[in-house]
Amino acid sequence: MIRVGLAEGLRDEDEHPAHIRNVSVTNCDSANCMQAPIVNELSGRLSAMLGAPSRNFESMEFVRYEAGQHYVWHPDEYSWQRKGWSAERADPVHVLSGPRVLTFFMYLSDVDEGGETGFMGTRAGASKVAPTPAEEAKLKVRPEKGKAILWANMRDEWRTAEPAAVHRAFPVRRGVKWASTLWVHAAGFRIPELYAGLACAPR
């Protein structure tokens, strides 16, 4: 799986400043990656387990955290109903596909020390107040090769974010952490995936 990510070409995080998220990342957007047997196998198994079609999945994201790299507290839920939202500014793909209902996160390597995934859990006022960087996690998951975790980002009605799902990547203290993520939407997201190999040219 790591070889698939490397073939796509890692880049430094470009969506957030380094004090928020410091990581190397790539997305499985090319036809070669989307058609890789291991990617198809994983998507198929997850689809069968969840009872959701793979077209509801975003393209797989690969991440590599080296010593000292991290990601602060954050939700995975993608909401178009944020402050300042307007129909003109909304991304139609996200509006049609709905929020990130679920996150499937898989560790692709062991880590010598650090690199845990921490979850905030329930907190008083969590829906209104973001956690501070110093707040401790209610749950920590130690990275181990082959381990996967699945969590819900939304409440049952899919209109309200689940505060307990706010999470962070603790800094790697020793070693390298490889992982992959699949975000699951309420409706079709990866429609171009249907045309992989036809309309999509390998990079």
Predicted pLDDT of residue 168: 95
The average confidence (pLDDT) of the chain is 84
Per-residue model confidence (pLDDT) at position 135: 75
Give the N- to C-terminal CA distance of the chain in Å, as an integer. 18
Segment 9-33, tens digit of pLDDT: 999 987 888 999 999 999 998 889 9
d(CA 7, CA 32): 9
Tens-digit pLDDT profile for residues 105-131? 999 999 999 999 999 887 644 544 566
Residue with tokens 């692709």: 108
Give the contacts of 41 (CB within 8 A, at least 6 positions apart).
none
Band the pLDDT of 200: cuts 50, 70, 90. very low
Q: Which pLDDT score, from 0 to 100, does residue 148 have? A: 98
Q: What is the pTM of this model?
A: 0.84
CA 182 to chain centre: 6
Helix (H, G, I), strand (E, B) or coil at 7: helix
Domains of the chain, CATH where assigned: 2-81+102-193 (2.60.120.620)
The answer, yes or no, to whether residue 197 has pLDDT greater than 50, is no
| pLDDT 10s digits, 62-97 | 999 999 999 999 999 865 555 555 555 556 566 678
pLDDT at 185 over 80: yes
Per the CB < 8 A criterion, the answer to whether 106 and 129 are in contact is no
Which pLDDT tens digit goes with each residue over 142-174? 999 999 999 999 988 777 889 999 999 999 999
Say whether pLDDT at 137 is over 50: yes
